[in-house]
A and B are shown apart, each in its own frame.
Chain A
Amino acid sequence: MSRVPYHELKARERLAAIVDPGSFAEILPPPARVMSPYLPKLGIPVAFDDGLAIGRATIDGKPIYLAAQTGQFVGGSVGEVHSAKLVGLLKAAARDRLPCVLLIESGGVRLHEGSSGEIGIAEAIRAVFACRAAGAPVIAVIGSDIGAYGGMGILSACCDFRVMTEHGRLGISGPIVIEKWMGKAAYDSADRALVWKTSGGKTRYLLGDANALVNDDTAAVRAGIARLLGPASPVTLAAIEARQAELAARLEQFAAVTSPEAIWQARGVTDPAAATLDDAETFVASLAPAAP
């Protein structure tokens, strides 16, 4: 079967490609015309779904809730309506104790809607943890060039699991902001190799921030999600203490490190230059056992 690049698809194409055929039932679809009240006042075109498709579907016959952001619409940004759809979906998933899969493609809060989207993301983060408390896993899928940044980067980090492709990026401040802040010598936002090695799927996987790194292929993304549709990752004292220790050790190990290549080598990549070109599966399979 030929490969269908996940990162090239639009939101509803992604949804259709990863769920059981014909199983997606959209909630508040475009004909419902639930739109931003802000953008028209700023002279910006609206979208009838405010850049987010939500609904129910099945994967391998298992019912789930899903959301997919549209990166082509104001950068996948999160405004009042967009965030309210997301919060409602997460609350429904917690209520019904069903997994919730978030196909993320967003630079974060929609600046044009000011603090409204910021509060909406904070509500969505509360709702993510309500799902986790209900035993309903929330899975963030990050496989687009826009990635998950700002508040959506933080929200992604709060989910039970993250599935990434080598195209996906996960962070808070984007490269352009950092370049302005630190200068081009410290971070050239046009240096795509450096940008992806800083925040891309391979580095996030090596450091343990992504649970799965899969090929940029809808079948591989679907398989990566399907493997995580089991038990949630509960927020227990033991889990929190283990993560605290892991994150402290990471800071200590890499305190003096500035190049991503040094992290790659420390985490089992023997030839970073060659591994840059590997697809995800080859990359994961070729990792040497990590040094203790």
Chain B
Amino acid sequence: MTTAELLPLLFGESAAGITVTDQILTGYATVAGQDVAVLGTADGTYINNAAALRLSAHVIEVVKTRPGLPIVMLVDSAGQEPNRTAEMLGLAGYFGHLLASLELARNQSHRLLTLATGKAIGGAFICYGMFADAIYALDSASVGLMPVEAMAAVTKIPVATLEELSKTLPALEFGAEPFALLGGVKEVWPTDASLPAKLAAALASATTEDDRARLGKERGGRTLAFDVQQRVLADSAR
């Protein structure tokens, strides 16, 4: 589904308030009658310094002009732009600043909600989408560190081995459902007319607690993270 088709499905006529420039989304819309700010990426674009800066500029505008307005973040990006001048100019710093701007919004009572709509891969997901209070994904979304073929190419482990292991280790599988088993997304949603109601309910129930490790344990996809975190907290308190 293209961005031009998806935005009206999510926001109805209010999707007209969202501007898409060079695959970067910024603007305002309504979800089931509730005003929200919208930002994100489209069409699997790569995020570079300028794109990150446009997203953080929108966050700053929302914080300054629309106190407490929830922020909906849409993710369809294949990753950070692998480019020498982008790195030379400090791409990590631009991503860190985008995250800091979202932290400012969170601290000023803006709820942050992410919907992975297309590609939500690696650094592109870390640099804003995975920082939300609550994270959801469409069932058609490509969510994860990297597809299994790419993982095989880098680790030199055969694709067949990784695919066999992924049957019991969802961390090695690529997609929205296995990512949910790890606690990385709360729910996976079908792409249909129920989306606005689901978004509105998700906004109403979002809290600032990071419960991903607990979810990963409960769902059996990431069995050690929660317990190890708790052990460190307990041992350090002695």
Q: Which residues of A contact B (CB under 8 A)?
A: 27-28, 34, 37-38, 41-42, 54, 56, 65, 80-81, 83-85, 87-89, 91-92, 95-96, 109, 111-123, 125-127, 129, 132-133, 148, 150-151, 153-154, 156-158, 170-173, 177-178, 180-182, 186-187, 197-199, 203-204, 207, 209, 235-237, 240-241, 243-244, 247-248, 250-251, 254, 257-258, 260, 263
Contacts and interface: CB of A to CB of B under 8 A. Distances in A.
Contacts of B123: 150-151, 154, 172
Contacts of A81: 224-225, 228
Contact of A171 (B92, B97, B232, B236): B92
B60 A240 contact: yes
Interface stretch (B5-13, B29-37, B124-132, B191-199): B124-132
B231 to A, nearest CB: 6
B85 A257 contact: yes
A178 B100 contact: no
A177 B230 contact: no
A251 B53 contact: yes
B225 A121 contact: no
B118 interface: no
A88 B229 contact: yes
Contacts of A111: 145-146, 151, 154-155
19 contacts: A38-B169, A42-B161, A91-B233, A111-B151, A114-B173, A115-B145, A115-B182, A116-B225, A118-B144, A119-B225, A121-B126, A123-B225, A129-B99, A150-B123, A154-B92, A157-B99, A204-B90, A244-B53, A247-B49
Contact of A125 (B87, B99, B235, B236): B99
Interface string B32-61: 000000000000000001100100110010
A180 B108 CA distance: 42
A258 B85 contact: yes
Contacts of B229: 84, 87-88, 91
A247 B101 CA distance: 13
A158 B99 contact: yes
B95 A157 contact: yes
B74 interface: no
Given A88-B229, A236-B104, A158 B155 contact: no
Interface residues of B, number: 78
B222 interface: yes
Main secondary structure, interface of A, reads helix
Contacts of A92: 232-233, 236-237
A87 B103 contact: no
B183 interface: yes
Contact of A123 (B89, B161, B169, B210): B210
A61 B216 CA distance: 39
Interface string B202-238: 0000000010110010000011111111111101110
B160 interface: no
Contacts of A172: 80, 87, 91-92, 95, 123
Given A112-B157, A118-B125, A80 B171 contact: yes
Contacts of A263: 88
A113 B154 CA distance: 13
A88 B64 contact: no
Contacts of B183: 119
Given A89-B232, A118-B126, A235 B93 contact: no
B28 interface: no
Contacts of B210: 123, 126-127
B201 to A, nearest CB: 23
B82 interface: yes
A132 B236 CA distance: 19
Contacts of A112: 155, 157
Contact of B92 (A54, A88, A153, A244): A153
The 6 A-B residue pairs whose C-beta atoms are closest, nearest first, are A88-B232, A157-B96, A84-B228, A116-B171, A122-B130, A114-B171
B189 interface: no
A186 B81 CA distance: 14
Contacts of B83: 173, 178, 181-182
B52 to A, nearest CB: 9
Given A119-B222, A125-B131, A182-B82, A247 B94 contact: yes
A122 to B, nearest CB: 4
Nearest to B164: A41
B63 A27 contact: no
A178 B91 CA distance: 13
A81 B85 CA distance: 34
A42 to B, nearest CB: 6
A187 B86 CA distance: 12
Contact of B231 (A28, A115, A127, A258): A28
B50 to A, nearest CB: 6
A209 to B, nearest CB: 5
